[in-house]
């Protein structure tokens, strides 16, 4: 590593991390007539696209790459307390994009652009000097007016108030079966009708064809499982739900994840002139783990600000009202598995799926939210308000 203060090169913008958020920002910059001739440095440890994430989201007009959508479902199913509920979506559709397609497409655009320099290197840290940010990599230091980073946890994170810290952790198999089993028009959003032994647990199934599906065992808890433990549950589920023995299917791919579900605030800045994005920027919705749509919106907002010369937005991904809702539900998810399942059951049984997605996307108004809360058991929420009052009444 170069420990000198020598700056190898100066750029207008540095994008540190070429995952969902870094590549979305690059895509938006390259589509901007104002920004596409700026000198951009894109840094990542590895630029090889991999098929390791299936990003799902419901309709959003901000999604810039519709041609990358791999599959769309117009019907969702939820099972809880032995009741199966499914519904055709009217307002939304549920889409997925594969990380490999996304990376291939946007990295190709980066390679083809004269403005973009791609550096495969380990990012070590960031600092600032005067009006510029500096990225420290194992191939030297580089400077820019603005650095947008999604690679490192911001150092200020440990000082933020934290009451509930769960993880949404999962391991899934993409399987191909020897008989027709799945409905490729219906995604199983959450199947809670499984043993709830290690925290709130459910199966998530994305059927791509009648014989091919991604099936994930997912938990909301603070303790990760071993791969064998997730896989044992997958085997049991395939047996009980689909009557599949190991000889009836092949596993073509594994997908594993661990997404933070926390009530702490994430700092906007890593240091002066270095902005956090993506998961490192606190864009994950704490109660669902959904981040992808928020990443797309954030990238657009950054590009709009750079184009107009206005300050980069530093508003939180969620408003105060939705932060409170998330805190209450996080508290319940952490403390009471049974009650959590009852809440999910009542939520999906008594409200339209479109309205629930709209609520999860934080696009409902207070009247619509009160109507939703009216359908849920009150006592656990009152208890959670009491337990979380020190946060709720101090700005969350």
Please say which residue, 24 or 384, places its beta carbon nearer to ligand FAD: 24
- If one asks whether residue 17 binds ligand FAD (CB under 6 A), the answer comes out as yes
The region, left, alpha or beta by phi > 0 then psi within -120 to 50, assigned to residue 278 is left
| Cα dihedral 313, 365, 186, 339 sign | positive
Closest approach of Cβ 333 to ligand FAD, in Å?
Answer: 17
Closest approach of Cβ 243 to ligand FAD, in Å?
Answer: 27
The count of residues interacting with ligand FAD (CB under 6 A) is: 29
The region, left, alpha or beta by phi > 0 then psi within -120 to 50, assigned to residue 140 is left
Closest approach of Cβ 312 to ligand FAD, in Å?
Answer: 17
- If one asks whether residue 177 binds ligand FAD (CB under 6 A), the answer comes out as no
- If one asks whether residue 377 binds ligand FAD (CB under 6 A), the answer comes out as no
Exposed, middle or buried by CB within 10 Å (0-12, 13-18, 19+), for 309? exposed
- If one asks whether residue 306 binds ligand FAD (CB under 6 A), the answer comes out as no
**Cα 186 to Cα 74: distance, rounded to the nearest angstrom:** 7
C-alpha closest to that of 276 among 317, 225, 234, 248? 317
**Cα 203 to Cα 182: distance, rounded to the nearest angstrom:** 14
Interactions with ligand FAD, residue window 108-147 (CB under 6 A) = 122-123
Closest approach of Cβ 193 to ligand FAD, in Å?
Answer: 22
Please say which residue, 63 or 392, places its beta carbon nearer to ligand FAD: 63
Spatial contact of 303 and 38, defined as CB atoms under 8 Å apart: no
Closest approach of Cβ 281 to ligand FAD, in Å?
Answer: 7
The string of DSSP letters for 216-266 reads EEEEEESSPPPHHHHHHHHHHHHHHHH---GGGEEEEEEEEEEEEEE-PPP
Interactions with ligand FAD, residue window 224-283 (CB under 6 A) = 255, 257, 259, 278-280
Please say which residue, 68 or 385, places its beta carbon nearer to ligand FAD: 68
Please say which residue, 216 or 391, places its beta carbon nearer to ligand FAD: 216
Q: Catalog residues that contact ligand FAD under the rule CB under 6 A.
A: 17-22, 44-46, 53-57, 122-123, 150-151, 255, 257, 259, 278-280, 289-292, 295
């Amino acid at each position: 590593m170069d420990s000198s203060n020598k700056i190898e090169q100066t750029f207008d913008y540095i994008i540190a991390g070429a995952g969902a958020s870094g590549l979305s920002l690059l895509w938006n910059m390259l589509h901007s007539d104002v920004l596409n001739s700026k000198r951009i440095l894109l840094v990542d440890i590895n630029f090889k696209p991999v098929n390791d994430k299936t990003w799902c989201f419901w309709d959003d007009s901000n999604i810039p790459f519709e041609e990358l959508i791999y599959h769309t479902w117009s019907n969702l199913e939820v099972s809880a307390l032995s009741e199966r509920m499914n519904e055709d979506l009217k307002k939304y559709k549920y889409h997925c994009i594969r990380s490999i397609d996304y990376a291939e497409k946007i990295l190709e655009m980066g390679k083809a652009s004269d403005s973009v320099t791609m550096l495969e290197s380990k990012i070590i840290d960031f600092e600032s000097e005067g009006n510029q940010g500096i990225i420290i990599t194992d191939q030297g230091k580089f400077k820019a007016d603005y650095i947008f980073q999604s690679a490192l946890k911001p150092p200020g994170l440990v000082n933020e108030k934290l009451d509930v810290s769960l993880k949404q952790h999962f391991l899934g198999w993409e399987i191909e079966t020897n008989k027709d089993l799945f409905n490729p028009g219906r995604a199983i959003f959450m199947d809670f009708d499984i043993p709830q032994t290690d925290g709130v647990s459910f199966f998530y199934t994305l059927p791509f064809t009648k014989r091919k599906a991604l099936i994930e065992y997912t938990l909301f808890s603070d303790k990760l499982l071993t791969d064998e433990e997730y896989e044992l549950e997958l085997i049991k589920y395939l047996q009980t739900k689909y009557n599949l023995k190991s000889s009836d299917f092949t596993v073509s791919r594994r997908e594993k994840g661990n997404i933070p579900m926390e009530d702490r605030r994430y700092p906007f800045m890593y240091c002066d002139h270095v902005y956090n994005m993506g998961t490192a920027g606190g864009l994950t919705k704490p109660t669902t783990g959904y981040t992808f749509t928020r990443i797309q919106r954030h990238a657009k907002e950054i590009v709009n600000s750079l184009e107009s010369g206005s300050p980069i937005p530093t508003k939180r991904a969620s408003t105060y009202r939705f932060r409170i809702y998330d805190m209450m539900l996080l508290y319940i998810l952490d403390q009471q598995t049974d009650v959590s399942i009852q809440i999910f059951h009542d939520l999906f049984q008594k409200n339209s799926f479109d309205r629930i997605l709209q609520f999860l996307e934080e696009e409902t108004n207070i009247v619509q939210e009160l109507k939703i809360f009216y359908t849920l058991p009150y006592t656990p929420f009152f208890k959670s308000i009491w337990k979380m009052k020190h946060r709720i009444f101090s700005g969350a």
